[in-house]
Amino acid sequence: MEGLEFIPYAHYNGVPLILDSEIKALWDRTVRSGVVNLLFHDGSVINYEEFTILVVKSPRTHFWKIEYNHAVWGYFWLNRFESTHAYCHFMAFPNFWGDPRIVDIGKEAMKMVLNGLSFEMIMGMLPSSNTHALNYLRAVGLQEGGTFPKLVWSAEEDKAVEGKILYITKENLV
């Protein structure tokens, strides 16, 4: 996709490619969008400091800001790295949810991480109640691996709830 950039949280000649002010803007926009409790359904991230430490700058994650035609469309990150796979978390800002290009961006992100980072599979795990995210991931090309009782923690409900695991492999890239 011409005009699409995945900007990693990395340093080039000692300078971060995503500045702290940009991280703060991403967090503030996520909060204004009203989706923090959906994105971090387990309650693990509730403020800017946790977002910065646990998601963006953690040595246990790979984080990218998504820009398309110089507009910030969202971000995503990988964590829970294994020898063959990792988990992906995707945040598209709600004003782009109805735009079909957001599906194309998700597909390009999957191609990048599966081909560029040499994973065999990318997985997603989320509450079954998050139908919007499930529909988006299916449109991107992830397949459902199963529904499991008490798979994920819901901070909002203060209990474990039913969840789904979705996955995509190199062979399933569309």
Which tokens hold the place of 113?
A: 């991480």
Residue 57 is classified by DSSP as S
Mean pLDDT of 136-152: 97
The per-residue pLDDT for 106 is 97
- With 90 as the cut, is the pLDDT of residue 165 above it? yes
The per-residue pLDDT for 9 is 98
The per-residue pLDDT for 118 is 82
Dihedral sign of CA atoms 87, 117, 101, 142 in order: negative
Rounded to the nearest integer, the mean pLDDT of the chain is 96
Segment 34-60, tens digit of pLDDT:
999 999 999 999 999 999 999 999 999
Show the domains of the chain with their CATH numbers: 4-172 (3.40.630.30)
Segment 73-90, tens digit of pLDDT:
999 999 999 999 999 999
Segment 115-137, tens digit of pLDDT:
988 899 999 999 999 999 999 99
Contacts of 148 (CB under 8 A, 6+ apart): 162, 163, 164, 165
Segment 4-14, tens digit of pLDDT:
999 999 999 99
The per-residue pLDDT for 117 is 87
